[in-house]
Amino acid sequence: MMTIFRTLFRKELLDASRDKRSVMAGLYYAVGTPLLMCLLFSVLLKQLSSSDELLISIDNANAAPALVHYLANKDIRQGEGAEVKAIRLVVSTDFQQQLQQGRPATVIIDADRADDQLQTAIRRLERELGRYNSEIATLRLMARGIDPQLMQPIDVQMQDQATPDSRGGTFLGIASLSIILTLFYAAMNLAIDTSAGERERNSLTLLLSQPLSSLQLVLAKIAAIACFSMLGLVVILLVSKFTYGMVPWQQLGFNISLDADFMLFTLLVGLPLALLSASLQVMVSFVAKSFKEAQTYVTMVLLVPVALSMVTTYNIAPDHLQWLPIAAQQQAMIGFLKGSAIAMPQLLVSSLLTLAIFAACSYASSRLLKSEKVVFGL
């Protein structure tokens, strides 16, 4: 039994390793994704970090010189040209008069809140206006001999349990998403090639005519594919460690660092997923009638892990989803990166579930290979 499996496995590995195009396609993903992410994140960080000068247009600035000066000291200035954000601060004509009389003086922020690129800038402007408000209010109370602290009946002290490692939020999610999906994308071409491809090249019938069981054949194929998935995982972890190290996360007050412990953890958690990925894709490829059809089906089926990973990334998964494969593993990875407690029950259950799906898919594939329709692609 084992000898046959070993022989099959060795041949699958050898054959797959010489399938440069499929292997490289998987590795392109593993190498390219972190690079792309790194680029994307850097651009995004630039947009998010607000320490730079913010140029807006201010209407009727003369009516509120003190306010304009205050904002300028916070690097929010009236500007001209392309750099100016589409935010207009309109100072009411009676601003000073209202202020002097102790009535609220109106300023209007004219901007499109739905514009994602403006949101940070708008929030920053609002924050500084708020500070100006409280500074003037403080002086007004002091000028009346009243302790300004009276305006703050409750002293709300936030004690944030987050650490620099845990603040990455969505970024952590996206990073772990790209890592976990490697297990699927690195396997995709190989899985199709070794199943639908093997059938199309007519070697499948020859193999099945040999003294072996279809389960042995299926398991050997899955094992070989899983090996390449894991290779992809190793590659993306190494590349990610390198590239993410170059993104200046600290400017946003958090850090994403993939250390050796995380890598080992991910490899361990990823192993069952690699088996699931391979068995699922092999099964789907066998169900398909041709190579092309297999590509279509596998692409469609891969939307499921992508979706599971997405809802985890954006933290919109309902609680019970967190017990499912991929979601739970990714959650655990994020937890590990954040340095927070890992939900062990979820991870264990989902890992078992992952293995169960792997077993089911493997068995189903082996049954498929007993079907004349499948074997001969009828």
Q: Which of residues 46-105 bind another protein (CB under 8 A)?
A: 62-63, 65-66, 69-70, 73, 94, 96-97, 99-102
Which one among 40, 146, 304, 352 touches another protein, defined by CB under 8 A?
Answer: 146
Beta-bridge partner residues of 58: 89
Q: Which is nearer to another protein, 40 or 151 (CB)?
A: 151
19 touches another protein by CB under 8 A: yes
249 interacts with another protein by CB under 8 A: yes
Write down the least CB distance from residue 22 to another protein, Å.
11
* CA pair distance 51, 40, nearest whole angstrom: 19
130 close to 137: Cβ distance less than 8 angstroms: no
Parallel/antiparallel/unpaired status of strands 88-91 and 107-110: antiparallel
Residue 338 CB, shortest distance to another protein, in Å, is 13
Q: Least separation, in Å, of the C-beta of 222 and another protein?
A: 18
Identity of the residue, 62 or 106, whose beta carbon is nearer to another protein in the bound complex = 62
For another protein, the binding residues in 124-143 under the rule CB under 8 A are 131, 134-136, 138-143
Options 10-18, 227-235, 302-310, 344-352: segment touching another protein (CB under 8 A): 10-18
DSSP string computed for 162-217? --TTTTTTHHHHHHHHHHHHHHHHHHHHHHHIIIIIHHHTTHHHHHHTSSS-HHHH
Give the C-alpha separation, 140 to 375, whole Å: 86
For the segment 182-241, give every residue that binds another protein (CB under 8 A).
201-212
**Nearest-approach distance from CB 113 to another protein, in angstroms:** 25
Longest Cα–Cα distance of the chain, Å, equals 99
Residue 187 identity: A
Nearer residue to another protein within complex by CB, 5 or 323: 5
Q: Given the complex with another protein, which of 62 and 296 has the nearer CB atom? A: 62
156 CB-contact burial (10 Å; exposed 0-12 / middle 13-18 / buried 19+): exposed
